[in-house]
Structure 1
Amino acid sequence: MVVGSASSRIGVMRRLKTLFSAFFAFLAAITILSAATAAATSSAGASQAAVSEASPARLRVTVLQYSRPWKDYDFIVRSMEYLKKNWPGLELTFRSLPHIPLREELRRGNADLVIASSSFFAMDPTEKVRPLAALVSPRAKDPNHASAAVVVVRSDRRDLRRLNDLAAKSIAAQTEECELGLHYVEHEIAKAGFNPDGFWSVRRDEPGQMRKILEDVLAGRIDGGILRGCFLEDLGEKRMAEIGSQLRVLNAQPVDGLACLHSTVLYPGIILAGTSPLGVEHARRVTALLLSMPVDEDGSYWGISTDFTRTDQMLESLKLGPYEYLREWTFRRVWKEYPSAVVCSAILVAALLFYGVILRRLVRIRTRALEEEIEERRRLEREAAQANEQISAMQHAGAVGQISSIIAHELKQPLEAIQNLSRGTMRSLEDVDDVPPRTLDAVAKIRTEALHASDIVDRVREYGKGRRRAEALSVAEAVGEAFRQFRVSRRAKGAKLSLELPPQTEGLLVRMDPLDLRLVIVNLLANAVDAASKSPFPEVKLEVAPASDRKTVEIRVEDNGPKLPDEAYAQLGLTPGKSSKAQGLGLGLMIVKALLEAALGSIRFERIEPAGLRAIASLPAEEKKENEKEKP
């Protein structure tokens, strides 16, 4: 057991020794690699430094052109000479350009250093420049508040005391120098509550002509002029003494850090900025040299600007430069500036839409109700008109009935006299020899027609008293007899008449007054002939059709007349007193309907396509009994 334990310990020790050896070998390899890497890096840096020192430095410096005199320009020139003196091997090119050419050179990458006002760089943020130093002069100790504009007018212009007195007046400004003097003043006008757009008439002069603006103001050729801050002081004390009494500064500011006459608040001044072509090492060296440059004999030196807030506020207020998009109304801008108004407008629009939907629904419901009400009113009006028409027609029919009763009563005696006279005449002629047969026949017909007329009068009187004489009539014989009588009469009017009596009608009876049935058939045939007469080939057909159970029989009268309009078809047999005939009373179909209903029958009408009408009179029918007598 002891030997086994010792062997086991020896094996563990060997494995640990092997592990430690491998670990130390790994650390040695890492150390060697790190040393090699550091050596290579150091060699590369030394080579790059050697190349940098060996190649000559080149700087392209461009300054924004300002109207002369400009005292700061002399200090800028001395600063460039200082750079060349303290930077061995430096190749420096220096030039002065107006506003637009300078921006074009920046876009082309033809400048390493640019010296201009801070507002020049703020107007176009797309230009890749970074401020390196700021000019500090004895007139403006703070480079963050070193630039302004001055507005001058003639001292004898008593109507021009404040900036807003220049409304609708003419002014001149050097806008191409991009000192933003015009915009500085417009910002003051905007702060006073006026809209600077169109506030006055601006004459934009060429660069470098600020003296001309001053001369035009003194000569009265223009109402006012906007000058660069400290421009009057740069003219010199002698010139200031000459023109000082002739000028008035509008909106003159107190001493606030700029020892010059000015009409606006102060903004950052002259900036030296590096462009993207300028290398990092060159930018560092330029900045270090200028910041270490001794103070000039007039007190000027290079410092650093740190606050461009006022420039941004001015540009945003006037919607210029990076804020020009504010002149275009977009949803994002509206939401940013007026969120509460947008929310309220959205709620209002949603409410109006909801109200519109509800209103449209209510209007639709109300319109439907009004349409239904109007339709109901029209229906009631039609029913009232129809009722009035029926009442009028019934009154007309009643009057006709009364007149008919009177006529029937009055005709009874003349008809009886005609009968008696015709009978006496016949007896007298029987005793006379050689009487022409035609005479006897005429007297006989007179007596027959008188009897027939008397029978009609009796029937009218019975109608008036409400009495009916229903008899069992053979349908075939009664219809055939009525058809024959109508065909030989003059009422046929040349129409083609036809009669269809199927075998099933044999032995079929109807209970009705013979005269009533004949009146029904004759009246229907007469109406059919009148309708068919409007057709080129008038045809009328009379047909008897018993039902399969032989309980009813239909008498059908068809014509090929023109198609009836819907309104006329709907009024068939409903309105008494109305007739399409010139001399009709409008009682024919009403009489037919009354006669059929008295016999427990009915009448209906059917339109035939494409033209024509079918009148169907329906009557109860029964089989003929062996012991029952029938009358044709």
Structure 2
Amino acid sequence: MLFALLLFFPPLFASAEPQALRLAVVEMTEPGFAATTVNPIRKALSSVFPSEDIVILRFNSATLESSVRELRPDFIISPAADFLRLVDAVGAHPIATRKTRWARDPHQSTGAAVIALSSRTDISTLSSLKGLKAAATLPTSLDGWLALRGEIEDAGMDSEHFFSKLRFFGYGMPHVVEAVLSGAYDAGVVPVCTLERIEAEGLIEQGVLRVAALKKEKEGAESLCRTSTTLYPDLIFAALPSADPETVRSATLALLGLGAGEYSWYPTSDFHAVRALEERLHIGPWAYLEEMTPSALWRRWRIWILGTAGLVLLLLLSELRLRELVRRRTADLQAALAERDRLAASEENIRSRLSRLERMGAVSQLCAIVAHELKQPVGAVINYLAVARLKTGISAASPLPAPGTDSQADPVLITAIDGADMQARRIARIVDRVRGYARAEKSRPVRLRISDVLRSALAGVKLSSSLPVEAHLPPQSPVILGDALEVELILHNLIKNAIEAVKDDPAGKVAVRVSGTDSEVSITVDDNGKPLTDEAFERLSRVSASGKSDGLGLGLGIVRNLVEENGGRLTLSRLPGRGLRAEVRFDIASDAEPGENTEKQSFPEDQKS
């Protein structure tokens, strides 16, 4: 009853007995396994850990990895093949290998022997077993069927279809032995030395059974028993990652100090032979290769493979025929078309460049003419506004009537006159600047507060658009060197372009942000307009056909020139999802740099315009 509780509810016992040492044992069909192997090891561990209980956990080979992960034993006793699975799965470390007294080398201690009735003289070599009925212990036994499978595959035969009938009985003695003695099966696959043991113990009569398909005709250096296969390492005593290093050290000394008996233990082992067998049989880490071997694929899909191959062959022949016909008729044509395309592309490039140059020249002449013609009427407008201001009794220096004066002027009229005067003077400055461009004159840079210039640009935008613009200004405005009007035109143009991109979208937004470092200031204008194609995005940075019905086609090329004239850098980038960001960066003006100060203008203090 206690054993059953330990087997099915080990976590409960582990929690109640925190000092218990857990020893896992993979279930074996070996007769007397507990008495010859498990109990001596348990006794040796008890001698070095007298204050701890030695709890035995019995694991099944089929669920070994999951059991180890769940119950976390300290040590495990398992066959070499199962141990290698734990090495790959959880990182188990070998401590010692069991060697039977019949073996000379612990690295070559176990394998398989094929037994048959001595009267069956037709069973002698490995090839003579083909097509017979055989009994074996377990399909996963390294000391049984797996070892024999390796020999069959090495001999160039198919182990899966070697026997006409193969049945697994679990125990070699008495099940497999009885199956052969009764004549129900022609041969049996048992662990090496099984026949020698049962004959020595008098369980069967000497000479009734014999070992067939002998690996060696007489005793070899590896084993004193007759074997039909290559020999491999026997059981492995291993430490698991959950074991304490000091516990592992003490357990190793106790295990290697066990006295010689039926079995003895030797430090570690060479597992290359086991790994090679697993790779040949496509088991363990190489199990995935089984479904990818040519023979397996051919057996499963040969009809589809043949049909597909035939169809591909027909298509290939048809394709080759068509290619030959097309090649003969298009060789010369391809060369002619390539030359024609090259000439057409070159001609189109030259035409495009000439068109842009002609447009720039025409625009330059037109700007000079317009600027010249606008100078006089703009001056007249300013004079007329001055007369209107005098008629209202308001001076230019004071926007409101002076105290003590009797003025009946309409405040709305005064505001209109002031606004018209301000815009007319702004037009005059722009006209002067255009005329300066025509004469190749350069303006002298002045010290500008970016916040003041941005507020002025936003005020100008308000006159033509009702869309609110989010403006984020720093508490202390950065100062740069530049032309006040040109910088204002730069910001005005960028904000207006952003508004144009979202004006038809009810959820359209435009945001302006001023930020920077000790060395430069950055002004970004973001919008959430429609996504731009690569061609449209590339067109923004050069003089090209305008995307607007009333545009001149100059676009951001002129803005970029103005930015560079004022020592700045303009960068355009597409925002994730949708929208565009225009960023202008200027160097911060130091106190030691020359430049005239601009007059401080009064602007609203709110952060959203």
State the TM-score, normalizing by the size of structure 1.
0.42
State the TM-score, normalizing by the size of structure 2.
0.43
Computing the radius of gyration from Cα coordinates, the structure with the larger value is 1
Q: Which has the higher helix share?
A: 1
